Structure 1
């Protein structure tokens, strides 16, 4: 399985009054890791958007297991959990410096033409991307 790792330094502004990372920031870290995954796979999300295609989140699930505090660093692992021509589910694990999984989850994405609410197929609009995702998912 093709798994990428993205290091993120916890910023003070991401913490609450107790010095613990506010839970919504984990979602941002997953998005940073997803974009990094796409780039390490050989593509750029910005290129997709330049062609009028967006990839919104239609579902997200995160399980929190342990707190993270400032000034820790975390590693976000990301991979393709499942893939079809219409839908991609990315998997995530967030690990602290000692390697413990502090959170895990998934995000589900579809492709849309900007201004539309009807999903489109990746294989028809970005065939190279589709082929690579098929390869990565089957690994």
Structure 2
């Protein structure tokens, strides 16, 4: 399977009163990982939006293993866990500087027309992107 990696420096504003990364910020890092994966596969989420489509999150889950702190650098690993031409499930691991898993999670997405918010079959509107996703998910099967 194709795994994308991106580094994220933990900023002070992302921490809470206890000095650790506030839990909701990991969802922002998931988004960074997802858009990096899309870019690494040769596509642009921004261009998809310009073309009149969105890919909203319809479900998300996160499991916290270890705290991350200001000044550390996180590694966000992202891959396609499930894809059927309609739904996509991205999986994530966030590693601390020692390479230990700090957070794992998944986000589930569909693709909709921006103007109507009606779901579409992704593979019908983005056939090249569809083929890249099929290839990326099958590499690990």
Q: Normalised by the size of structure 1, how large is the TM-score? A: 0.98
Q: Tell me, which stretches of 5 or more residues in structure 1 are unaligned? A: none
Superposition RMSD in Å: 0.7
Question: What is the rounded CA distance, in whole Å, between the counterparts of 1:61 and 1:116 in structure 2?
Answer: 27
Bigger mean CA offset, 110-119 vs 17-26: 110-119
Cα drift, residue 116 of structure 1: 2.3
Q: Tell me, which stretches of 5 or more residues in structure 2 are unaligned? A: none
Q: SS at 1:34's partner residue? A: helix
Q: SS at 2:110's partner residue? A: strand
Q: SS at 2:70's partner residue? A: coil
Partner in structure 1 of residue 80 of structure 2: 80
Question: What is the rounded CA distance, in whole Å, between the counterparts of 1:118 and 1:84 in structure 2?
Answer: 18
Runs of 4+ in 1 over 4 A off after TM superposition: none
* Residues 1:30 and 2:30 are matched in the alignment: yes
Superimposed CA distance per residue, residues 90-113 of structure 1 (whole angstroms, 9 cap, x where no aligned partner)? 000000000000000100000000
Cα drift, residue 123 of structure 1: 1.2
Question: What is the rounded CA distance, in whole Å, between the counterparts of 2:21 and 2:131 in structure 1?
Answer: 37
Answer whether contact 2:33 2:77 (CA < 8 A) is retained.
yes
Report 1:53-68 matches (<5 A): 53-68=53-68
How many residue pairs get matched? 139
Q: Normalised by the size of structure 2, how large is the TM-score? A: 0.96
Question: What is the rounded CA distance, in whole Å, between the counterparts of 2:66 and 2:137 in structure 1?
Answer: 29
* Residues 1:106 and 2:106 are matched in the alignment: yes
Question: What is the rounded CA distance, in whole Å, between the counterparts of 1:108 and 1:18 in structure 2?
Answer: 30
